[in-house]
Amino acid sequence: MTTILRPPGPRDRAFGLRLLADMQRDYLGFWREAQRQFGDTVYMRQGWFHHYAFMHPDQVREALVDKARSFVRYEQHIAVMRQLHGQSLMITEGATWQRQRRTLLPAFSPKRFEAYADQVTAAAEHAFASLPPDGATTVDAEHTMNMLAMDIILRTMFGSRVEEDTARIEQAIRNLSAIGYAEMFLPFAIPAWAPLPRQGMKRRELRLLDGLVRSHIGKRRAAMKAGASAGEDLLGMLLTARDEEGDGAALPDDEIRDQLMTIFLAGHETTATALAWAAWALAADPALAARVAAEADGVLGARAPTMDDVPRLPLLAAVVKETLRRYPPVPGVIMRRAVEDVRIGDWLVTKGSLVTIPFFVPQGDARWFPRPEGFDPGRFLGDAARELPRGAYVPFGAGPRVCIGNGFAMMEMTLALAMLVQRFTLAPAPGQGVPEAKMQVTLRPAGGLRLLLTARVPGPARAAPAPSPAGLHACPFHG
């Protein structure tokens, strides 16, 4: 009988339940301490599962890209997310996932970004116009960015501002995130119908979001029957989508609902969190903020940015990328189950084993990012970005299941931040210390984020600089 050697790791006589509790209490700290104690590869036993974690860039790349076919997403996590997302691109596997990705790819192609950019700038104009510019009134930056990101994604999905109560929608998303995060650490998914208080709240919030999406699908269907066009937004694209490589059939309303729900939930909360952290980084570093504002002034002057301006704002794009490194919005969702025996690095991962990729650990590792606790956008400018080892920086994932909306997210955050620095100088509000990062599906600033905004007048635009060679549609992980 052959003995399979396992990597070092923590031991738990309670069948891994104590380790799960430790993870839930402090997910980021758990994996950082595990790497400190045991190295880049960690093994533990949790219930009947062998559980590996890989934290070296080479291992990350090998698991997510080179040997991606040897894994599927961990079913427990998918069961929790399925209650929100249905059978969307985020949930499905195999041929169904491939068909859905083919169908959705045109919605995220660069040629559609110009129309999306107009929606981003219109939403940012509306959001920032209501902020107090007196330098004395405290602004809840996290709430502001939540509402901005929600407006952007709803405009992108439905073509214009929506009439629904967006503050109530935001609260529903927060509640669902808190419930979902807690359920990620249970050994089984709790059915949504279970007669428990938390499941009752989940049902209420899901009804709210489901009603929002289905009402827009119904209204657009009715308008199309009356002779109107499908529209150029995401809903219109899905209503007219056909899988040209398959049977050419149109999407049923249930699938359109599922895809829109995923785009809404994934595209809103992650972007909002990243924008809040980027605003904090600029408020905390006046010298950096001045450089970013000068770049925006030189390219834009006082006019609103467009899609064509994005590659002409390399420092601002680097601020976005450093934000995603330092404060990854979704640091804990990459978990896989091996469907066959597979070797990752020096270790044999046996069929059925779980694999976690805590990618925020290499993103905070001094071997790849000197002074990792600092905020330095220079890491993503020029040759510095190209020298990063592949797998050290994967904020959108990597491999076949890389986030389909990564280009849209980069464009959205760059345009929104450009408009923010055009209008305001940012500073921490009195009593606002360095916020602690707290994971709750997304990585939120614990206790909120309060800033002061002082109006500024943009300087005149200069001759348009050449687009950055590491522009919007370069690889989002390198440059």
Do the domain assignments include residue 129? yes
In a domain, 426, yes or no: yes
Provide the CATH number for the domain around residue 383.
1.10.630.10
Which pLDDT belongs to residue 296?
97
Terminal-residue alpha carbon distance, the chain: 49
Task: Read off the pLDDT of residues 429-464 as tens digits, 9 standing for 90 and up.
Answer: 999 999 998 887 788 898 889 999 999 998 888 866
Let me know if residue 108 belongs to a domain.
Answer: yes
Six-digit token string for 150: 């929600």
Q: Does a structural domain hold residue 5?
A: no
Give mean pLDDT, residues 339-366.
95
Complete DSSP assignment for 72-131: EE-HHHHHHHHHHH-SSTTT--HHHHHHHHHHHGGGGSGGGHHHHHHHHHHHHHHHHHTS
Residue 204 lies in a domain: yes
Residue 74, domain member (yes or no): yes
Q: Tokens 């002082």 correspond to what residue?
A: 454
pLDDT tens track for 98-119: 989 988 888 888 888 888 999 9
- The set of residues, in sequence order, having a beta carbon less than 8 Å from that of 60 and lying 6+ positions away, is 54, 357, 359, 362, 391, 392, 394, 398
Whole-model pTM: value is 0.91
Residue 315 pLDDT exceeds 50: yes
Q: What is the pLDDT of residue 469?
A: 55
Domain encompassing residue 51: 17-455
Please give the pLDDT value at position 465. 62
Q: For residue 75, give the nearest of 331, 343, 402, 339 by alpha carbon.
A: 339
Kindly list the distances between the CA atom of residue 258 and the CA atoms of 3, 232, 265, 424, in Å, as whole numbers in the listed order. Answer: 45, 19, 11, 38
Q: How many residues does the structure list for the chain?
A: 479
State whether residue 231 is helix, strand or coil.
coil
Question: Is residue 171, in this structure, part of any structural domain at all?
Answer: yes
CA distance 474 to 479: 7
Does residue 345 fall inside a structural domain? yes
Q: In total, how many domains does the chain have?
A: 1
